[in-house]
Amino acid sequence: MTAAESATGSQVWRLRALCLGIAVVGLGLDLATKQLALANLDPARPIPLLGGVVTLQLIRNPGAAFSMGESFTVVISIVGIIALVGVLFWFLPKLRHTGWAVAIGLLLAGILGNLSDRLFREPGPLRGHVVDFIQLPYFAIVNVADICITAAAVMIIWLTVITKVSPAGVRLEDRDDAGDE
């Protein structure tokens, strides 16, 4: 019997609750920090912190990571919606592993945080600019949603490549071995 088969209904719901709880907390932090940045930061006056290791620099980004695709804001918004639907309908029903629940919760927080900007900020629906304000040296200016997406990506790579476990809690070697029989 696999871990996925032995998971009880209550365990599955706990994992989904963990995932969605992380998504809600991450989204809340993203939205709150963006509001604080908009209320307190002047784009013309960056604020260096920790000896310049981190700088608070307010920008509005119409593109994707590193401001790429600035003229494709609508396409980026649609891709975000597709990613959100994919995560909700492909990953969430399969969750049977705590690590994957955390990773998918972080991914949902990041997708929802940036998508909310694209849907509800100027210049309008699907064309909204994402609020970014955390700058590391020689790197892009990011926000909490971006940090959540990056952390999720690292966790997903770790879970897939190092621990070799699927979202369903099945060891990937076990699944490969079953296909060889």
Tell me the C-alpha to C-alpha distance, in Å, between residue 159 and each of 98, 104, 145, 152, 167: 11, 12, 21, 10, 9
Could you list the beta-strand ranges (E) of the chain. Answer: 47-49, 54-61, 130-135, 141-142
Mean pLDDT of 146-159: 98
How far apart CA 163 and CA 146 sit, in angstroms, is: 24
Catalytic residues: 132, 146
The b/e string for 58-89 (b: 16+ C-beta within 10 A; e otherwise) is bbbbbebeeeeeeeebeebbeebeebeeebee
Domain positions in the chain are: 9-180
Q: At what angle do helices 98-120 and 73-86 cross, to 10 degrees?
A: 150
Whole-angstrom CA distances from 28 to 22, 25, 109, 137 are: 10, 5, 8, 26
Structure confidence by residue, pLDDT tens digits, 23-44: 999 999 999 999 999 999 999 9
Q: What pLDDT digit, counting tens, does each position of 42-82 carry?
A: 999 999 999 999 999 999 999 988 778 889 999 999 999 99
pTM for this prediction: 0.90
Higher pLDDT, 1 or 46: 46
